[in-house]
Amino acid sequence: MKVFFPNSAWVKTRERLVLKGGRFAKIDLKVRYGVIIHPKLGPILIDTGYTEEVISGTKRGVMLDLYARVLRPRLNKAEQPKAVLARMGYGPEDVRYVIVTHFHADHVSGLGQFPNAQFIVDGAAYKHLRSTPRRGNLRHGIFTELLPDNFSERVIELCHLPEADPGYGLPVGHDIFGDGCAVAVSLEGHAKGQFGILMTLNGSPLLYAVDVQWLACALTEGRIPGWPSRLVADDFTAYKHSAAIVADYIKQGHTAVFCHDPETSAYDYLPETIAK
């Protein structure tokens, strides 16, 4: 199994908003998504990052248009999901699964590009999304127009997958492919039902910790930002708990990848080293 993380886009933010005691200066956050090349199932995506649907999609409502104007993501055309897959000889129709870690726009933007994919989701988060009025979802950065029209028919809920203990002090989760190579672990707090993925590569663990923090150093240096994360978090107590779990995992000497960290990761996408 191969796993790597392309960068779909950059978004500017002030460092102090994402790092306690950080500078006032603006930094470029990445917006990663994951690609798993599974030996039996082929290419599988972990989220999609930002895609053109957020910036110029015709289905966008007024609020999504406003969101894009305020955040102004700059798409990385070379590392958009379809471009990355094409370089490996795959078309969008070859993707059978997209693992949706949570429903924020920068994670689901391109789901509509994969006509044959089923979507692996946290069932409670999806139920909450469906039962929440549109305005409530918007307040949490969820734009339902980004989901394909037949999304509900293509959903696989984690709770229907076998339970698995990922080890490393992480909570018991669900074995996504039934072969133990990727376990979904709950990392609640940032968004309802957010989950990370513990993968095992050549005997070593790799945790995709999604949006538990923007910057890894906020965890390793004890510099979790205060009020901005409280403002953004779905549940601030759970947010701090998930941060502590991931900080402990990193302290054990294991590798974690975050969606937005500008620092280069050993698992970032390098076209020259990824062959089909």
Backbone angles phi, psi at 75, to 5 degrees: -65, 140
174 contributes a contact to Zn ion by CB under 5 A: no
Residue 227 in tokens: 């009020």
Structural element, H or E, at residue 236? helix 236-251
CA gap 64, 48 in Å, rounded = 17
Q: Which member of 30, 32, 104, 174 binds Zn ion (CB under 5 A)?
A: 104
* Shortest Cβ 143–Zn ion spacing (Å): 12
* Shortest Cβ 130–Zn ion spacing (Å): 19
192 contributes a contact to Zn ion by CB under 5 A: no
248 alpha carbon, distance to own chain's centre: 20
- Looking at beta carbons only, is 84 or 142 nearer to Zn ion? 142
Q: What secondary structure does DSSP assign to 136-172, as a single string?
A: HHHHTT--GGGS-TTGGGGEEEGGGSPEE---TTPPP
211 contributes a contact to Zn ion by CB under 5 A: yes
What part of residues 130-159 is at the interface with Zn ion (CB under 5 A)?
A: none
* Shortest Cβ 71–Zn ion spacing (Å): 12
Structural element, H or E, at residue 97? strand 97-99
Binding site for Zn ion (CB under 5 A): 104, 211
